[in-house]
Amino acid sequence: MIGWSLERAIEYGIPANGVERYVVWPGQACSHVLGRLKIEALRDKARAALGEKFDIKKFHNLVLQTGNVPLKVLEDLEGDSISSQA
């Protein structure tokens, strides 16, 4: 994709607003996907550890109320949350 024109990227199937976003903010998409994958992994870990005690609303509240933190901090907080509920 390096050196492609906007038109070539659109022909390839990437929406124009997506191409523009990647050009202006190249690390955003990668960061978004890595964060999503980590949050999904934490959710799966909590679900496996807590079984029927797992509450998706509590999990979402923890993630959302924690705010913008490094993924390691979120992981540690989720570990603490699992320990306190187990």
Convert the pLDDT of each residue in 42-84 to its tens digit: 999 999 999 999 999 999 999 999 999 999 999 999 999 999 9
The residue-averaged pLDDT of 29-33 equals 88
CB within 8 Å of 73: residues ≥ 6 apart: 66
CB within 8 Å of 59: residues ≥ 6 apart: 42, 43, 46, 78
Contact 55/84 with Cβ under 8 angstroms? no
Distance CA 8, CA 17 (A): 14
- Spans of all domains in the chain: 6-85
Summarised one tens digit per residue, pLDDT across range 3-28 is 888 889 889 998 888 888 888 888 88
